[in-house]
A and B are shown apart, each in its own frame.
Chain A
Amino acid sequence: AQSVTQLGSHVSVSEGALVLLRCNYSSSVPPYLFWYVQYPNQGLQLLLKYTSAATLVKGINGFEAEFKKSETSFHLTKPSAHMSDAAEYFCAVSAGGTSYGKLTFGQGTILTVHP
């Protein structure tokens, strides 16, 4: 069984400040981990993914995440927030293989960026 916990349903930062969105996972098998972003009335867009290669993963729009097995964490960061980063972010886990699209999602974190 797999599960994801996102700490903080809402995060607010100033433009130019560090963005840190927290994600902890539970998995009985080596996990594949993903961060997706969702803009209002849109589908999910993949930001980045961890698939058992490098533990520090770089994604689109300046985001990155680090897989820490000892902490069962996969936190998302961006050094400097931009107004366009305001959206909802979802962390997700899958068992990989031929079912890496079979995802268990966290409850989401809404990121607000203020001037």
Chain B
Amino acid sequence: EAGVAQSPRYKIIEKRQSVAFWCNPISGHATLYWYQQILGQGPKLLIQFQNNGVVDDSQLPKDRFSAERLKGVDSTLKIQPAKLEDSAVYLCASSSNTGGTEAFFGQGTRLTVV
């Protein structure tokens, strides 16, 4: 079974630029999550999708972050414009609603804003 795929693995941008991250969840997983992990901290949930609908985006900084999940499969997370404090690893995870009790994580995208 293929895992959660994310790209790119690394990205360096200047502040005020825009950036987008892509996630392909495990096939058949209805729920998709984006987490932000700042160096030295545990991951923090940004947004949760159920199929292509948003379940929880209460911790997403909506003035600069946006996310979508078209057709209930792949998802993109965008930052525009980026700030220095957005430097972090962005982790995508997915889980099944029809069995199992865990979320599976991708390898993450490490973003550096300079």
Name the B residues within 8 Å of A32 (CB-CB): 101
Docked Cα-Cα span, A3 to B15, in Å, equals 32
Contact with A44, one of B40, B43, B101 (Cβ below 8 angstroms):
B43
Name the A residues within 8 Å of B103 (CB-CB): 100-101, 103
Query: By the criterion of a CB under 8 Å from any partner CB, how many residues of chain B are at the interface?
Result: 28
Q: Does B21 contact A (CB under 8 A)?
A: no
Q: Is A43's CB under 8 angstroms from B110's CB? A: no
Q: Does A74 contact B (CB under 8 A)?
A: no
Q: Which of A5-64 contact B (CB under 8 A)?
A: 32, 34, 36, 41-46, 49, 51
Name the B residues within 8 Å of A105 (CB-CB): 42-44
Name the A residues within 8 Å of B45 (CB-CB): 102-104
Q: Does B70 contact A (CB under 8 A)?
A: no
Q: Is B33's CB under 8 angstroms from A101's CB? A: yes
Contact with A100, one of B42, B44, B101 (Cβ below 8 angstroms):
B101
Q: Does A67 contact B (CB under 8 A)?
A: no
Q: Is A90's CB under 8 angstroms from B94's CB? A: no
Q: Is A99's CB under 8 angstroms from B55's CB? A: yes
- Write the nearest CB–CB distance from A73 to chain B, whole angstroms: 17
What residues of chain B have their CB less than 8 Å away from a CB belonging to chain A?
A: 4, 31, 33, 35, 40-45, 48, 50, 55-56, 91, 93-95, 97, 101-108, 110
What residues of chain A have their CB less than 8 Å away from a CB belonging to chain B?
A: 4, 32, 34, 36, 41-46, 49, 51, 90, 92, 96, 98-108
